[in-house]
Each structure stands twice: as C-alpha cells, then as structure tokens.
C-alpha cells in the first residue's frame, strides 16, 4: 500500500470531520503495561482481614523500584492491579484480596502450618521489587529457619508462595460451604461441608482445589506443584452453618503454592434439589455472566458426584445477548441413581468466545504450573481414544445392503470379494479390540478385589468402608467375552456367496448378516458400562470415606482411597472408541 494512503487513513481516524463534535473524539493511547508495586502502610491496617481494601497511594509509602527494605513500619502490601496481598505486621498471616483496583475484596487468609494448627510470621523483608515482580520473605516463628517467600508478578492474578527452608505448608482460610476438586479426566469431587462429620479430614487431591465464595461472585483457586501429600480440610459449625473453615496445603520439597480468584458476579451458582425435583425440569434463577465451557456437579442419591456439561441447557437470546438456563426433566431407569441434594455450576474452561480479560481455571493452571506440567496433570495422552478395525455400524451400512436392490445376479459377490473379505477381517479386529478392553476391566476387577481383601485383613475397623468398595468392584465382568466366536460362522456363511451366489445362498447370507451388528453392539454397551462402574468407584472411594466415621479418621483409609483412585485412572486411560462419549470432555 502507498505510504501516503496509510498516513491518510491514520489521520482520518483521529481528526474529526468538519462540523463534528470534537468532544466525542478521544485520544487513542496504548494501554499501560501491567506493573507490580510494593507498599509500606506505615501502620498496621486495622481491618486488613475484612475488606474491601483501598489502595492508598497518597497515605502509604510506595517503595521505589530497585529498593528492597529489610523491614516495614506497617503492613507490607503487594499489588498488581487485580490482586493484593497484605502481609500483616503482627504476623497473623497474609490476607489475599481480589477484584478491581477500586475495590479489592477480602478472599482468604494464608498462615503457616504447625502440626494441625497454625503459627505466626515474623521478620518481613523485601527480596524483589523491579516493577515486574515484587516479593517479601517472611520467617515462621518457631519454624527452625523455615519461611515463605510471597510474590506477585505483573499481569498474573496469583499470589505465589515459595518454600524457604523446610516449611510444612499453608492453611488457606476462606470459609465456604462448597469445595471442588476438579477432575479433568472424569467427574469432579464436590465437597459439601454439611456432609463432613469430622472436624478435620484428609482428602485425596491432585494439584487443585476450588472454594466457592461470595454468594456466587468469586472462586478461590489454590494450586500446588508438589503433590507429595494430600490436603486436609478443617470444618467448623453446625447444621446449615457448617463450613469449610480452612484448607491445609503442603509444600513438599522445594514446592510452591499459588492462590488466586476467578471473579465475576454469577461465576458460580448452586441449588439444592429436593427428592423427585429432577423429574420436573425447572428454570434456574441464574444469569450466565459470560460464555465459557460451564460444568455442573450434581449430587447423586448414591452420594457420588455426576459432572455434566451445562452448555447444553443454556439458551442465549440473539437480540439481547442474555442467557437463560433451564434443567430438563431427567428420566431414570429402575435402580439408576438420580440427582438429589446440591449441585454447583462453574466455568470449567474457556471457549473461543470467552472474554480475554476474564480469568478462568485454565489461565490459572498455565500461569502457575506452565504448559508441560499441565499436560501431565490433565493426562492429555491418557484421554486419547484408541481404535482398531472398523466400527460395526460401518459393517451394518455396507455388507447387509449388498443383498438388497437387485444385487442377487450371478457374479456380483465374486467381483466384490476383496472388499467383502476386508470388511469381515476388520469387523473381527474391532470386536476383538473391544473384547480385549473388557478383559482389561476383568483383570482390574481381579487385582482390585485382591488388594481390598488384603486391606480388610489389615484394617478390621474399616470393614464397612472396604465392603462398599468391594461391592462396586464386583459389578465388573470377571472374564473377557468371546462374541467373535459367535460371529465367525455367520461371516463364513456370507462368504459362501463369493463362489455360490445363487438366490438361495444370497438369502442365507442376508439372514447371517443381521445378527452381526447386534452381537457387536452388545459388546460396546458392555464396555461402556464397565467404564461407568470404574468412574463411580473412583468417586465413591472418597465420598464413602467422608461419610464413614471410622474411615474419615483413618490414615489407612486415606491410603486405600489414593490407591483405588490411581488404579482406576490407569484403567480409564486410552478408552476404546464407543467406550464412553464423555472421555476427555474436560
């Protein structure tokens, strides 16, 4: 393009036309780059643990870039525009605030762990302050030189805590009813504080924990990179006021812990479904705040959690842009677990239309752990389905139809013998592949029952808990099926038409093709049922432990749950085609 034309276009975009109102013309400026700032409040903030927090540029001392004071007169405040951390001068902990710079809301307090309680911090000293990263080191009182480095990076909505020495971990206190252990492989684990009988319970966990805060306006996300020890949940209160009072997260060797919030009015929604209410269908009193991949976690009557895509029930008005949500009328088969109790909706991932400035879980994952660890945690390779041969539906759409439409004339089958034999070979390969997968589930059943029997002998007090797990495992098949043996003679009957394509033989072949898809599809359904059973086992291991008084306090039960979940995930990896349409959904 001619450079004079380019200049003319630019000028036309910023110079008003003759007679135009010059007040409507705004100066175009590049957005200011994100920065991280360190303040000294001069005196301890009286309400640092409550909020909202106002950044007082005129009253607080802004620490000049490059300077790293070894002490603070008041509280130390780390701020990057969307997140603020107040490191209390009295050592009570670190207060986390999130939101806009005009009004930062208190979301959590972070304090160092000391056994089953917490300790205090002392000796806050700045260790980084260059505009891109601000960091303050603190020591743990009585922690034998253990400490934590708290840091904020420009443009990253996460407070990072890095182990210094050998601190045990942090208690993240953000009272709420619901917590979610997101599972990117199968169903989530949704924790309802009202269901936990013990004051403290260890929960098998894998790098992430979400806490639903502020009546639907905030989701606190805690991330850790060393998964050497499961988190502990502290619970307080009675009845409807029972809440998750604190989450104990552990550093591990040279570990990091991150805490940040997903913020937006309506970013999560919950409702308690009464018995039978799922059958009626209902509109929800919830306005979807932005487009995303929304996930719903439903409590089932068997005390497990069923995760579903909520997008299928969201309808957006093309004119107004507003979205409405209505649950369908759920129909259940006899004996099938239904939905009863609380369900929670939240944004699981962003989609192509999610606003770029809206922070979601996948953003937090990438900005904390990075792409490599995230791929490992998400088990990307394990969610890739596998297939061999051809699907039985492809066979059903071709070979049986060769007997229709006047194809009985002599020589037809002989001319297509190469295609016919390939179809027969490939459909048997596919059937054997499905049978092998079912055989793997049978092997899982054998090994898991042996493991649970061994644990039952070692832990007599966990008999009821282990018994429920064994009952679920026993529902799996005990051997590999052999449907291909029933199909082989049928295919041989069809192949006779290659050399004997008389009308009589064509009729026999036609009748022989009909049972093939039915036999094969029965195997497909059987395999899908195996997957559902193991998914349920993986979830119920945790839920049954929480509801069992003996198991909830037993370290041995925690190890059993961890083993069951790990072995379950292993068998669920690389599903066969048709094994489960939900595989890899998240």
What are the CA-CA distances from residue 90 to residues 61, 113, 121, 575 (Å)?
19, 17, 8, 54
Question: Could you tell me the pLDDT band of residue 197, with boundaries at 50, 70 and 90?
Answer: confident
pLDDT tens-digit series, residues 25-79: 333 344 455 789 999 999 998 876 676 888 888 899 999 999 999 999 999 999 9
The yes-or-no verdict on residue 139 having pLDDT over 60 is: yes
Using CB atoms within 10 A of its CB, is residue 571 exposed (0-12), middle (13-18) or buried (19+)?
Answer: buried
- Strands 231-236, 218-224: pairing is unpaired
C-alpha 200/C-alpha 244 separation (Å) is 10
Alpha carbons within 13 angstroms on the beta-carbon side of residue 322 total 5
Q: Exposure of 469 by Cβ count < 10 A (0-12 exposed, 13-18 middle, 19+ buried)?
A: buried
* Window from 108-122, 266-280, 412-426 with minimum mean pLDDT: 412-426
Higher pLDDT, 426 or 156: 156
Q: For residue 498, what pLDDT is reported?
A: 62
Among the residue ranges 251-265, 495-509, 522-536, the one predicted with the least confidence is 495-509
Rounded to whole angstroms, the Cα distance separating 473 from 460 reads 19
The first and second tokens of residue 168, run together, are 């045990």
Q: 574: which 2 tokens?
A: 């690389």
3-state secondary structure of 53: strand
Mean pLDDT of the chain: 82
Mean pLDDT of 350-372: 89
Q: Which pLDDT band, with edges at 50, 70 and 90, does 23 fall under? A: very low
Quote the Cα angle for 279-268-310, to 5°: 45
Q: Report domain extents, the chain.
A: 35-168, 269-352+360-366, 383-572
Q: Which residues contact 406 (CB under 8 A, 6 or more apart)?
A: none
Torsion sign over Cα 250, 183, 380, 208: negative
Residue 148 in this model has a pLDDT that exceeds 70: yes
530-542: average pLDDT: 87
DSSP string, 446-506: HHHHHHHHHHHHH-GGGHHHHHHHHHHHTTS-SS---HHHHHHHHHHHHHGGGT---HHHH
What are φ and ψ of residue 336, in 5° steps? Answer: -80, 135
pLDDT of residue 516: 67
Percent of the chain with pLDDT over 90: 45
DSSP string, 496-523: GGGT---HHHHHHHHHHHTHHHHHHHHH
Average pLDDT for 387-394: 60
Give the strand pairing for 293-300 and 83-87.
unpaired
Beta-carbon contacts of 327 under 8 Å, excluding residues fewer than 6 positions away, are 278, 281, 282, 284, 313
SS3 201: strand
Among 6-20, 159-173, 341-355, the minimum mean pLDDT is found in: 6-20
- Name the pLDDT band for 392 (thresholds 50, 70, 90): low
Residues 88/33, Cβ–Cβ less than 8 Å: no
| Structure confidence at residue 6 (pLDDT) | 36
Longest dimension (CA), the chain: 101
Whether residue 126 contacts residue 63, with contact meaning beta carbons closer than 8 Å, is answered with yes
Rounded CA-CA distance 281/279 in Å is 6
Give whichever of 443-457, 501-515, 519-533 has the largest mean pLDDT: 443-457
The predicted structure's pLDDT at residue 28: 35
Cα–Cα distance measured from residue 458 to residue 461, given in angstroms and rounded to the nearest whole number: 9
The 3-state DSSP class for residue 165 equals coil
268: closest CA among 216, 323, 307? 216
């Amino acid at each position: 393009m001619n450079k004079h034309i380019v200049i003319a276009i630019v000028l036309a975009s910023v110079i008003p036309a003759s007679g135009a109102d010059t007040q409507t013309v705004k100066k175009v400026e590049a957005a200011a780059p994100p920065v991280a700032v360190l303040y000294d409040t001069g005196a301890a903030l009286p309400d640092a643990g409550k909020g909202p927090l106002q950044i007082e540029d005129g009253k607080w001392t802004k620490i000049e870039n490059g300077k790293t004071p070894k002490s603070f007169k008041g509280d130390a405040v780390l701020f990057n525009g969307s997140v603020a951390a107040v490191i209390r001068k009295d050592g009570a902990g670190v207060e986390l605030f999130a939101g806009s710079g005009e009004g930062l809301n208190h979301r959590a307090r972070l304090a160092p762990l000391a056994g089953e309680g917490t300790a205090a911090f002392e000796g806050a000293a700045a260790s980084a302050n260059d505009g891109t990263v601000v960091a303050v080191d603190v020591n743990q009182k009585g922690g034998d030189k253990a400490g934590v480095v708290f840091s904020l990076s420009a443009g990253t909505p996460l407070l990072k805590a890095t182990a210094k020495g050998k601190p045990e971990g942090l208690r993240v206190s953000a009272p709420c009813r619901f917590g979610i252990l997101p599972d990117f492989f199968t169903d989530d684990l949704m924790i309802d504080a009202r269901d936990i009988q013990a004051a403290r319970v260890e929960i098998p966990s894998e790098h992430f924990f979400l806490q639903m805060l502020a009546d639907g306006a905030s989701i606190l996300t805690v991330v850790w990179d060393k998964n050497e020890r499961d988190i502990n949940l502290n619970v307080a209160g009675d009845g409807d006021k029972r809440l998750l009072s604190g989450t104990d997260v552990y550093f591990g060797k040279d570990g990091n812990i991150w805490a940040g919030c997903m913020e937006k009015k309506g970013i999560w929604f919950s409702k308690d479904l009464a018995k039978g209410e799922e059958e009626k269908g209902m509109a929800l009193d919830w306005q979807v705040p932005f487009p995303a991949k929304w996930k719903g976690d439903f409590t089932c009557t068997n005390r497990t959690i069923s995760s579903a895509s909520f997008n299928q029930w969201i309808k957006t008005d093309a004119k107004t842009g507003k979205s409405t949500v209505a649950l369908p009328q759920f129909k259940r088969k006899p004996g099938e677990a239904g939905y009863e109790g609380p369900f929670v909706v939240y944004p699981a991932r962003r989609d192509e239309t999610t606003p770029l400035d809206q922070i979601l879980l996948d953003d937090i994952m990438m900005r904390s752990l990075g792409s490599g660890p995230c791929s490992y945690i998400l088990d990307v390779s394990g969610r890739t389905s596998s297939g061999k041969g051809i699907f039985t539906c492809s066979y059903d759409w071709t070979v049986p139809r060769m007997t229709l439409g006047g194809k009985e004339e002599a020589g037809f089958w002989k001319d297509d013998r190469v295609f016919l034999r390939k179809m027969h070979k490939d459909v048997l390969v596919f059937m054997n592949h499905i049978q092998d997968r079912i055989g793997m589930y049978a092997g899982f059943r054998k090994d898991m029952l042996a493991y649970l029997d061994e644990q039952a002998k070692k832990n007599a007090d966990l008999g009821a808990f282990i018994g429920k797990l064994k009952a679920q495992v026993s529902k799996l098949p005990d051997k590999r099926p052999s449907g291909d043996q029933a199909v082989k003679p049928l295919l041989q009957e069809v192949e006779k038409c290659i050399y004997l394509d008389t009308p009589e033989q064509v009729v026999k072949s036609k009748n022989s093709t009909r049972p093939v898809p039915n036999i094969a599809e029965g195997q497909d359904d059987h395999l899908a049922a195996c997957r559902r059973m193991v998914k349920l086992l993986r979830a119920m291991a945790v839920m049954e432990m929480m509801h069992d008084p003996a198991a909830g306090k037993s370290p041995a039960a925690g190890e059993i749950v961890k083993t069951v979940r790990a072995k379950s995930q292993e068998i669920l990896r690389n599903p066969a085609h048709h094994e489960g349409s939900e595989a890899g959904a998240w």
